[in-house]
Structure 1
Amino acid sequence: MLTEARTPLPYVSESRRACDRRPAPGYWRRLAPLLALLACVTRVPSFVRPLWNPDEGYLAVQAGMLAHGGRLYETVVDRKPPLVPWLYEAAFAVFGSGSLTPLRVCAVAAQLTTALLLASIAHRRWGPTAGRTAGVLYLLASVGLNPEDAQAATFEVFMLPWTAAALWCADRRRWGLCGAAVACAFLAKQTGGAVLVPVAWMLWRCGTPRRDLVRCAVGAALPVLAVALATDPAGFLFWTVTGSGAYASFTGSELHVLGRGLTNAAILAVACAGILPPIARALRVSRTGCGDLWLWLGSSAGAVLLGFHFFGHYYLQLIPPLALLGTAALQTLPRERLGTALLTSACCCALFVTWGLLAPRPELAHAQRVAQEVRARSAPHEPVLVWGMHPETYWLAGRRPATRFLTAGLLTNYSGGRDGPQVGEKYAVAGAWDVFRAEFATRAPRLVVDDSRGAPYGAQRTRSLRRMLAPYEVVGDVDGAVVYVRRG
């Protein structure tokens, strides 16, 4: 009933009283352990598999190459910024490269940090109950995707604390730190820069003087500039911004890609079943007064759409603003709705955690069998080439790649099931084939595995690679992956 609705507290930037709210003594001492326990429980499935998806494999191989003298954006390349590869490299340097468990622990810490920042924002705006609600809702929804997307220790998981930190700093008008957080979000993954939209809106709404705008801009620019100078400036610009035109295209397998997008959106909607109804109800009852949060959600949705691939892990970016909007909505509804929202979210979370514990991983099993064959037919010091979309094979086999291009996608534009007209050599990253041929000529691999398994980028459908395989002979087959060994 509308008469039972509680009056929403005003938006923080419009109420000095809301801005001055401080946690009661012991508030964080009680809340932080609860959120830490919840973060650990929700991510238990991440520890039951040696590897969850090819992105983890790519990062693991990159870290190994960097540890052995590779240079990012020169002899080690990817379309991603460097913070997460550097994190993997640091973890391997301290704990060894044989397991991703230290990175799984880092992912738990990242999710906990995000939850604490969201709780702090909600507490400041709506009070202690809202702080607890925001942190719990976020962690319960954070695993609400296919386990290979939600449980992996990859780019989005390490990007989210920085996006939340940007809103936290903007909420407190610490504009220099806010800009730095935006920069770090971008340096974890490019789409993290979408948080700049709500930050800019908050700057405008607060009527800050020019010096605050300058502080934010300088805070955002300096880390990016420092990273560019620490790597290769031209390579950094190319690989993270300008070199992905063909990749970020909707052409090719439109129905397949659209189906993936709708499926992942439906999965996330199930995970947020406790959050979405209060938001919808609050919109009908009253204004929530959360323009910055709606902009955060909208810019994050735009980031999901960017590139037209709709992978499940892209949707993780939507969960922090949804958790805060759900918390804001619950402030306007009868108190019993809070218990319903938390119970629904907990049940959905249990469903996804069970899925993560029990779901089979056939692609991982295939990569492990191929890696076993690679180990059997090559020596540890011999470079090998795995022509496919599973770079984790190198890491599982303990072999170094013969090229800087760890997937066939960089050389053919094949990605995520795209099998339309924009797959082939002419759609490769600019200049990639010249570099690939030179590497193949100077460091010819002992072993080549064509792991395309009928995909349109297969060796027999890629003219240049077919010519390069002329000195090789077929010696085996592993679940459709063809194994070549150099004659003599």
Structure 2
Amino acid sequence: MRGFFRRNQPLRTGDAPPAGRLAEPGSDAPPSALPATDWATVGWLVGLAAAAVLIRWPFFGVPMITDEGGYAYVARHWTAQTRLYREIPFGRPEGIFLLYKLIFATLGGDIIAIRVFAALYNAATTLALFGFARAVFGSRAAWISATAYALLSSSPVIEGFTANAEIFTLLPLVLAAWALWKQQWFWAGLLTAIATNLKPSGIEAGVLGLLWLAYTRPGWRALFGFGLGGLLGVAPSILHGLAIGWSHYWYAMVLMRREVYAPEVVALGATLKRLWIGVIATYAAWALPGVLFACAALHPLGRARAFALAWLFSTGVGMALGVWWDAHFFLQLLPPLCFLTGVGALKVLGSRRRWIWATVATAALALFALRNLPFWTYDPLRTSWELYHRPGYVFSAPLAQYIRARTPPHEPIYVAFAEAELYYLADRPAAVPEQLYYAVARYSPRAFAKVVAALEQRVPALVVVAQPPPSNRMSLAAFQVLLSRGYVFEQRFGNLQVWRRKRPEELASAQRGHAS
């Protein structure tokens, strides 16, 4: 069994370095003699980690976005009585909600605490990338790679400052890649499962593992160890599904997601259109490491080049599984690109055509600065508006306060048809917890039917109308008729409307009016 947990035999085309020497850049062999602790390096790493956190400081107060709100809402309401996937049907693995519960237990539940935790977590990813790059390419390249990642991962255009699932998935993904490089197959499989339990796109580490197993051909024991680690990693999620009722788990994790991934969503033309929009919106954040990655990949780097290319390819597979190609998806590109950024920068300096590469890299850096740096000068509300143009975000704080003042704590509300953050900020239960996001209302007939039933039965005390209904489900006029039967308009925040449930006497008066 020891072979499952530890490195297998050296790769067939590379031998371990002689005693007393460190591995050459691009070699998979570990150092044969470890140096004493370099406290200066430790100090600089602490400084780099601190800088990776502090660079996000201007964005800690940017209003909560709907993804953060959805995760926070589910994490808060997931209890022994209100069970995930049963009373709260939500198509995400348990890992992201457990992580949010950890945030609440350690730093608190406000948006600043959530973003600070994400920044600290991302600093750990920065250090992991440094360690991996240093083991493969040496210290100089590692410092460049880690510094580039610390800066670029904070980019507002890829929502790098948010506590989205991607930012939490990257740490186990980097560690899984490092474990694969060292042929620690069991741990690579376990880390793959951890990443997948945070977000399904974490399965990209499994793709990388299979590619690297095929490339290195270490034998069946390695494949078994990789699979065993992955199986043990997903076992808690499966056991949880069995405990709460497999049909509920299966619906949330598979059937509900299949509804959202409707044929018109996954069609090639629609997917390519969303991909193009995503690339145009985000390329300023990853163009620089992309240029330096390309420079490095054009030079002989031994097995490191094959590994980096496989890592980048598998990342693309993971991103594609998400279908939507939202801006924060592109955050996943940074670890594989930055892995070669350091060695690419050194290759530029030593290249006979350095002026060409330097010109392109400088243009990419200028593009990053032009597109991103203004956000560091904006106040939080302007940052939110410039990035998202969603009034629901800008008015979320006063609107949540208004809801709390006019409803008792356990009275459900409904937000049509997105802005899940309002449920969390107002600390009110969702009348239809199955439908927290717009795509669910648009593509899930079952979820939309529950919305209609809840409004007909006047379940929510307040209804916040943030967006019109999906046109494939109901017209705006029909929705207004439905709403006006049991609710009365009360307040406006920007273009958001708040409707109050009619009192019994108002309802009786309306019914008498219809009868006459």
Query: TM-score interval w.r.t. the shorter chain?
Result: 0.7 to 0.9
- Aligned match of 2:52 in 15, 39, 45? 39
Deviation of 1:370 (Å): 3.3
- Aligned match of 2:166 in 156, 179, 188? 156
Deviation of 1:193 (Å): 0.7
TM-score (norm 1): 0.82
The answer to which of 434-443 and 115-124 deviates more is 434-443
1:447 and 2:462 matched? yes
- Aligned match of 1:361 in 352, 360, 384? 384
Deviation of 1:268 (Å): 3.8
- Aligned match of 1:276 in 287, 290, 295? 290
Does the C-alpha gap of structure 1 residues 381 and 242 become closer, same or farther in structure 2, counting only changes over 3 Å? Answer: closer
Does the C-alpha gap of structure 1 residues 369 and 261 become closer, same or farther in structure 2, counting only changes over 3 Å? Answer: farther
Does the C-alpha gap of structure 1 residues 14 and 265 become closer, same or farther in structure 2, counting only changes over 3 Å? Answer: farther
Paired position in structure 2 for 1:294: 309
Question: Hey, what's the Cα distance between the residues in 1 that align with 2:440 and 2:67?
Answer: 17
SS at match of 2:143: helix
Paired position in structure 2 for 1:135: 146
Paired position in structure 2 for 1:238: 251
Question: Hey, what's the Cα distance between the residues in 2 that align with 1:256 and 1:382?
Answer: 40
Paired position in structure 2 for 1:375: 404
- Aligned match of 1:115 in 126, 138, 147? 126
Q: Is the 1:271–1:345 Cα contact (8 Å) retained in structure 2?
A: no
SS at match of 1:316: helix
Q: Is the 2:312–2:333 Cα contact (8 Å) retained in structure 1?
A: yes
**Could you report, residue by residue, the CA deviation over 1:261-317 in whole angstroms, capped at 9, with x for unpaired residues?**
434424543233432333333455556641121121112123323343211001111
Question: Hey, what's the Cα distance between the residues in 2 that align with 1:92 and 1:16?
Answer: 46
Question: Hey, what's the Cα distance between the residues in 2 that align with 1:133 and 1:343?
Answer: 18
Does the C-alpha gap of structure 1 residues 411 and 247 become closer, same or farther in structure 2, counting only changes over 3 Å? Answer: closer
Deviation of 1:446 (Å): 1.6
Paired position in structure 2 for 1:485: 500
Paired position in structure 2 for 1:167: 177
- Aligned match of 1:352 in 368, 372, 376? 372
SS at match of 2:492: strand
RMSD: 3.5
SS at match of 1:140: helix
Question: Hey, what's the Cα distance between the residues in 1 that align with 2:410 and 2:148?
Answer: 49
SS at match of 1:16: coil
Deviation of 1:474 (Å): 2.8
**Could you report, residue by residue, the CA deviation over 1:416-439 in whole angstroms, capped at 9, with x for unpaired residues?**
xxxxxxxxxxx316x435655676
Paired position in structure 2 for 1:265: 279
**Could you report, residue by residue, the CA deviation over 1:166-196 in whole angstroms, capped at 9, with x for unpaired residues?**
0111122211111110001111110111121
Q: Is the 1:185–1:193 Cα contact (8 Å) retained in structure 2?
A: yes
SS at match of 2:145: helix
TM-score (norm 2): 0.78
- Aligned match of 1:102 in 113, 132, 135? 113
- Aligned match of 2:199 in 164, 189, 196? 189
Question: Hey, what's the Cα distance between the residues in 1 that align with 2:398 and 2:253?
Answer: 33
Deviation of 1:13 (Å): 7.6
**Could you report, residue by residue, the CA deviation over 1:378-426 in whole angstroms, capped at 9, with x for unpaired residues?**
233322111221011122223222231342536522xxxxxxxxxxxxx
Paired position in structure 2 for 1:4: none
Q: Is the 2:293–2:338 Cα contact (8 Å) retained in structure 1?
A: no
Question: Hey, what's the Cα distance between the residues in 1 that align with 2:415 and 2:405?
Answer: 15
Gaps of at least 5 residues in structure 2 are: 1-10, 18-22, 24-28, 505-516
Does the C-alpha gap of structure 1 residues 48 and 56 become closer, same or farther in structure 2, counting only changes over 3 Å? Answer: same
Amino acid at match of 2:94: P
Deviation of 1:251 (Å): 2.5
Does the C-alpha gap of structure 1 residues 248 and 459 become closer, same or farther in structure 2, counting only changes over 3 Å? Answer: closer
1:85 and 2:85 matched? no
Question: Hey, what's the Cα distance between the residues in 2 that align with 1:158 and 1:181?
Answer: 12
Q: Is the 1:73–1:239 Cα contact (8 Å) retained in structure 2?
A: yes
Deviation of 1:472 (Å): 2.4
The answer to which of 181-190 and 379-388 deviates more is 379-388
Gaps of at least 5 residues in structure 1 are: 1-10, 414-426
Question: Hey, what's the Cα distance between the residues in 2 that align with 1:224 and 1:469?
Answer: 47
Question: Hey, what's the Cα distance between the residues in 1 that align with 2:371 and 2:75?
Answer: 34
Question: Hey, what's the Cα distance between the residues in 2 that align with 1:375 and 1:460?
Answer: 30
Matches within 5 A, 1:61-76: 61-67=73-79, 69-76=81-88
Question: Hey, what's the Cα distance between the residues in 1 that align with 2:12 and 2:371?
Answer: 35
